[in-house]
């Protein structure tokens, strides 16, 4: 088996931080998985990216903007139509803080 980049102590530390209880079999499986991930990152690091411009965002460029226009005018009577209790154009609620 090739030299592992991840030690069991590191796996146990990550499990402790994540509050995971791992069996010895799970620790070994996680160690192998993490080694595989690091090997993939090493493979990506071999790529020549000198001519690739850096990007700041992978997805769409920001949120589309729109005009801030009122489309529904407030109508106090309509808003209060189903209120169980109201007072001078406001919802009336029971006092909860004394």
Residue 80: what pLDDT? 87
Over residues 59-76, the mean pLDDT reads 79
- Please give the C-alpha separations between residue 38 and each of 69, 70, 73, in angstroms, as whole numbers: 51, 53, 57
- Please give the C-alpha separations between residue 39 and each of 2, 42, 47, 89, in angstroms, as whole numbers: 11, 5, 13, 67
Cβ contact 27:11 at 8 Å: yes
Residue 63: what pLDDT? 75
* Length of the chain measured in residues: 98
Residue 56 has pLDDT above 70, yes or no: no
Over residues 23-52, the mean pLDDT reads 93
């Amino acid at each position: 088996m090739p030299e592992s980049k991840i030690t069991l102590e590191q796996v146990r530390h990550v499990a402790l931080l994540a509050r995971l209880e791992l069996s010895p079999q799970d620790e070994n499986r996680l160690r192998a998985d993490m080694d595989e991930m690091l090997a993939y990152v090493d493979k990506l690091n071999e790529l020549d990216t000198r001519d690739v411009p850096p990007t700041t965002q992978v997805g769409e460029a920001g949120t589309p903007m729109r005009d801030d226009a009122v489309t529904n005018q407030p109508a106090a009577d309509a808003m209060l139509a189903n209120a169980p209790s109201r007072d001078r154009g406001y919802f009336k609620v029971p006092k909860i803080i004394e």
